[in-house]
Amino acid sequence: MAVVIGLHPIELMAGAVGLRTGDQEMEFAGALREEPEEMIRCESINVNVPANAEIVLECEVLPDGWVTDEGRYGEFHGVFGDVKRNPIVKVKTITHRKNPIYHSLIMPQETTGCSGPYGQIKTMNFLREAGFRPRAAATVPGSIGFELRASLDHPKPGEGKAALLALLSQFMVKKVTVFDDDIDIFDDEQVAWAEALRVQASQDVVIVTNCPAKHMDPTVRHLELPSGRLPVTDKIGIDATIPPDIPRAAYERSRYFNPRGIKTEDYL
């Protein structure tokens, strides 16, 4: 195996995507670059690595098995993970660029930052394949991939709930909010406005229980589970689309009268 330290963000983004079995992450990186990804062979092992790497550790996994504790390390969700028993690897060769830069990921900002754009593309494709008309999708900063927002193009009655249920079926996602296309889901003020004026909790909030969960979520208490038991979690969906019995005109935003015609120098 090779440990690669210090790459362009394109390679980091490619490494963060969840591709189908058989698809290659470096091919995905080449697609993002719009040119083939340049790879080179390691000197002491039969492994290819990105040519623009700063440092490469060429390693051999020893046959001793799981023999030592490792950690605790900061994980993608911004807290320390558990101590793990991992295999020992022997570093056979180290290669590097001249004056290499050692890049250590900052958790969780860099990890979720790299996976965020792919999460938005995945959400758009997911909704299109399910027959919806998505206008935009957003991963929420700070939620480390557990929360999604989506807006639909003039959703029909019931489509808001149907879309959020579809998105909640994804493994990592714990919270989904769906909006009309008139809401900029990247603007927290507009999001809060829509949630305040378009949501009745008894009608528009959906809770789904006993869904497959990520073990790193402390609320699933995975260390307390019996051996072999997988963690489960509850999920929440909020339908913040305009209720079907309320006309869209009821949400016409107020505007200042003739703002361009007013000159402050006329009054000061």
Task: Name the burial class of residue 190, with classes exposed (0-12), middle (13-18) and buried (19+) by CB atoms within 10 angstroms of its CB.
Answer: middle
Q: Is the pTM of this model over 0.85?
A: no
Q: What is the pLDDT of residue 258?
A: 76
Same domain (yes/no): 115, 230: yes
- Of all residues in the chain, the percent with pLDDT exceeding 90 is 50
Residue 266 lies in a domain: no
Residue 43 lies in a domain: yes
What CATH number is associated with residue 183? Answer: 3.40.1670.10
The C-alpha atoms of residue 101 and residue 134 are separated, in whole angstroms, by: 41
Residue 79 lies in a domain: yes
Residue 101 lies in a domain: no
Same domain (yes/no): 162, 70: no
Dihedral pair phi/psi, residue 27, rounded to 5°: -70, -40
Kindly tell me if the per-residue pLDDT of 108 is higher than 70.
Answer: no
Same domain (yes/no): 88, 128: no
Residue 103 lies in a domain: no
Kindly tell me if the per-residue pLDDT of 120 is higher than 80.
Answer: yes
Report pLDDT digits (tens) over 47-102: 999 999 999 999 998 887 778 888 888 777 777 878 888 888 899 999 999 999 99
Same domain (yes/no): 125, 207: yes
Q: Which domain holds residue 150?
A: 109-251
Token reading at 57: 């550790």
Same domain (yes/no): 130, 222: yes
Task: Name the burial class of residue 176, with classes exposed (0-12), middle (13-18) and buried (19+) by CB atoms within 10 angstroms of its CB.
Answer: buried
Q: Is 11 helix (H, G, I), strand (E, B) or coil?
A: helix
The C-alpha atoms of residue 89 and residue 255 are separated, in whole angstroms, by: 65
Residue 116 lies in a domain: yes
Kindly tell me if the per-residue pLDDT of 202 is higher than 90.
Answer: yes
* Averaged pLDDT, 123-137: 93
Residue owning tokens 């098995």: 65
Same domain (yes/no): 74, 122: no
Same domain (yes/no): 71, 172: no
Domain count, the chain: 2
Q: What is the pLDDT of residue 18?
A: 74
Q: What is the pLDDT of residue 263?
A: 81
Kindly tell me if the per-residue pLDDT of 132 is higher than 90.
Answer: yes
Residue 45 lies in a domain: yes
* Averaged pLDDT, 210-218: 85
Dihedral pair phi/psi, residue 89, rounded to 5°: -120, 145
